[in-house]
Structure 1
Amino acid sequence: MNPKKRVTIYDIARKLNLTASSVSRALSNNKNVNENTRQLILKTAAEMKYKPNTLASNLRKGKSQTIGVVVPRINQNFFSNVIAGIEAVTYQRGYNLVICQSNELHDKEVQCINTLINQHVDCIVISVSAEGSDYTHLQNVIDHHIQLIQFDRVADNLETLKVINANEQASMEAVLHMVGQGYKRIALLEGPQNLHVFRERKAGYLNALKTSGLPVIDELIVANAKTKELGTEAVRKLLSLPNPPDAIFASRDDFSALGVLEVATAIGIKVPDELGICGYSNEDFTSITSPSITTIDQYSMEMGKTIANSYFDQMDNKMGNSSNVNKTISIKPKLIIRTSTQK
């Protein structure tokens, strides 16, 4: 026998001159198999290093006990913590995770989704890429009767369970904090406005200015930069204005906020005395930069656990009725005030 070939029940059956169905019944502890025969089959299976094909078995039962997760970037603290939260729950239920990353590319996201559909996963959890606008591939998940759960970045027009943050409220709180510290010309670094999550954060920024009686200044609102280089260039232009901002809310993420800090340091602007900086998502590095960066904690681990528990609640029919499949769960983030906004 080829040592690299996976041992099957047919290999065991041939060796013992039995039928494959007899071997299958014995390995599944069927009572209709003679005990001596069952023990012989079990002993032979162990000697031949037989491993059951769990995927095939689960597919026969109509379940793979596998959940696919698609995120923009695995190496970002927020997404990795969401995955860890999901895994903490799924492990207890005997489920496996298949992790994919889109790298913020629509075509790769579509490829990930198609791969997971072909693997017959029971559920797909996704935070959509920045490039996305056509969500036909996600409708395809629903059409295949696979549970679809969206989190953080979601497609509004799809009726699925959504687990999100109260982004508008958190952003408003962050900007009001900076106003309270005496900052008056607060700039906004937008995230991609095709995504609802970033439109909410912008709305929070605008509402905070309105509440504070501060004007909305178009030149202080900077469109989403798709690369670090473009982001650096945009921040340099912003800080080189004749009347530059005295604070910047990097609403996309903490990496944008770090970019602001790097530019400010390079051109000799003192943070927080001359420039306040606030990010979003509470990446690990924000607490160890100099100065440390004010940010918003999205409770990512809790979000992951909520996603997994909601899926299993639906599976266990604990959520009452099918309309709950389409409900939205909102988790309130927390403003983490650090040195970068404390004058």
Structure 2
Amino acid sequence: MKPKKRVTIYDIAERLNITASSVSRALNNSNHVNEETKKLVLKTAAELNYKRNVLASNLRMGKSHTIGVVVPRINQNIFSNVIAGLEEVTNQQNYNMIICQSNESVAKEIKCVNALVNQHVDCIVISMSVETEDISHLRNVIDHGIQLIQFDRVATELETLKVINDNEQASMEAVEHLIKQGYKRIALLEGPQNLNIFKQRRDGYLKALKKHNIAVADELIMKNAWTKELGATATRQLLSLPQPPDAIFASTSDFSALGVLDVAHDMNIQVPSQLGICGYANEAFTELTNPSITTIDQFSMHMGRTIANLYFDELNNSEVAVTPKVISLKPELIIRSSTLRKG
């Protein structure tokens, strides 16, 4: 069965033998249309089951009251919670949201961004994919006069509103905690260095070692170990070294840390006495594993609310900002059983 044709103002105009502009004015309660015509138009619109095209109406006024969101993966804690925090505020402002995920693909990210631009959204909120290096598609957003807000994974060279975490400080605190627990050879599982967050987490790791006069061992730094599978592969390599690590900081994600824990269990390595494990992101499962996993909470719900409030503050602020705002949030180290050797 074919869907019914959408009723338009032209159908109402034809039924009443008046102009479409008269129908439009009547539906918008204009003073240029008499009350009798307004009542007749409203009655006919109801009879024909006319539904107002809110998007078209908003576009005529220069606003769509819609925010587009592009995230790498919706099912990760930080991104799902950011979306929830965003939605909490946007609902209060009677704004709609369109949510897209890139699945860590730059090609899909570009497709999502372009689709949102073509939908004339008022704002695009984005956290970049691991593949993203060329940011031409993000410059295109700005060129179209659409507000761009970057969060978590951002292009630092692009001057936009940004909401980020203090990744360097959080990583430094995590590694210092491991050192205080007596771990001497601390390995790092790092993500792609084209992304700012993974560079910052590496910097925090290196600063902590330097602060405590621990030499950097290149063989303990494993590149691009940002999924459970890659984390497990990297862990097997690390544990096969002549001098294996006694702790692993999975700075990329808790999924990577879960890969470490799986390998430790398979190899009958005791956690935390023989191997300490720390993740990043405070995924829900980290409380449920045996042992529970030490991690870093990014307060992603708060981040989502902060992004939305930043947008509406800028929207309502008549003053022109000299430099785009960058809001940095402080994550928190959540210490659990996987690193507690000293109680």
TM-score in terms of structure 2 length: 0.96
Secondary structure of 1:206's aligned partner: helix
Match of 1:330 in 2: 328
**Contact 2:229–2:256 (CA under 8 A) maintained in structure 1:** no
| 1:103-134 Cα shifts (integer Å, max 9, x gaps) | 11111111111111111111111101111111
CA shift for structure 1 position 253: 0.7
| 1:79-111 Cα shifts (integer Å, max 9, x gaps) | 010011111111111111111111111111111
d(CA) in 2 for partners of 1:322 and 1:12?
47
The code of the aligned residue for 2:122 comes to: D
Match of 2:159 in 1: 159
**Contact 2:181–2:339 (CA under 8 A) maintained in structure 1:** yes
Question: Aligned-residue CA RMSD in angstroms?
Answer: 1.4
Match of 2:10 in 1: 10
CA shift for structure 1 position 227: 5.4
Secondary structure of 2:107's aligned partner: helix
Identity over the aligned pairs, expressed in percent?
A: 69
Match of 1:174 in 2: 174
Secondary structure of 1:40's aligned partner: helix
d(CA) in 2 for partners of 1:166 and 1:3?
52
CA shift for structure 1 position 232: 2.0
**Contact 2:227–2:256 (CA under 8 A) maintained in structure 1:** no
d(CA) in 1 for partners of 2:227 and 2:158?
29
Listed as ranges, the matches of 1:100-249 within 5 Å are 100-225=100-225, 228-249=228-249
The code of the aligned residue for 1:336 comes to: I
d(CA) in 2 for partners of 1:149 and 1:68?
10
Q: Does 1:81 align with 2:95?
A: no
d(CA) in 1 for partners of 2:209 and 2:260?
21
Greater Cα shift, 224-233 or 245-254: 224-233
CA shift for structure 1 position 32: 2.5
d(CA) in 2 for partners of 1:228 and 1:180?
27
CA shift for structure 1 position 36: 2.3
CA shift for structure 1 position 3: 5.8
d(CA) in 2 for partners of 1:51 and 1:329?
41
Secondary structure of 1:111's aligned partner: helix
The code of the aligned residue for 2:135 comes to: Y
Match of 1:257 in 2: 257
Secondary structure of 2:89's aligned partner: helix
Match of 2:26 in 1: 26
Match of 1:321 in 2: 320
Q: Which runs of 5+ in 2 are unaligned?
A: none
Secondary structure of 1:68's aligned partner: strand
Secondary structure of 2:158's aligned partner: coil
d(CA) in 1 for partners of 2:259 and 2:79?
20
d(CA) in 1 for partners of 2:91 and 2:38?
31
The code of the aligned residue for 1:213 comes to: N
The code of the aligned residue for 2:212 comes to: S
**Contact 2:250–2:279 (CA under 8 A) maintained in structure 1:** yes
Secondary structure of 2:322's aligned partner: helix
Q: Does 1:342 align with 2:340?
A: yes
d(CA) in 1 for partners of 2:77 and 2:226?
19
TM-score in terms of structure 1 length: 0.96
The code of the aligned residue for 2:22 comes to: S
Q: Which runs of 5+ in 1 are unaligned?
A: none
The code of the aligned residue for 2:56 comes to: A
The code of the aligned residue for 1:323 comes to: V
Secondary structure of 2:280's aligned partner: coil
Tell me the matched-pair count.
340
d(CA) in 2 for partners of 1:9 and 1:41?
9
d(CA) in 1 for partners of 2:227 and 2:176?
28
The code of the aligned residue for 1:215 comes to: A
Secondary structure of 2:249's aligned partner: strand
Secondary structure of 1:322's aligned partner: coil
Secondary structure of 1:282's aligned partner: coil
| 1:297-316 Cα shifts (integer Å, max 9, x gaps) | 10101111111111111110
CA shift for structure 1 position 231: 3.1
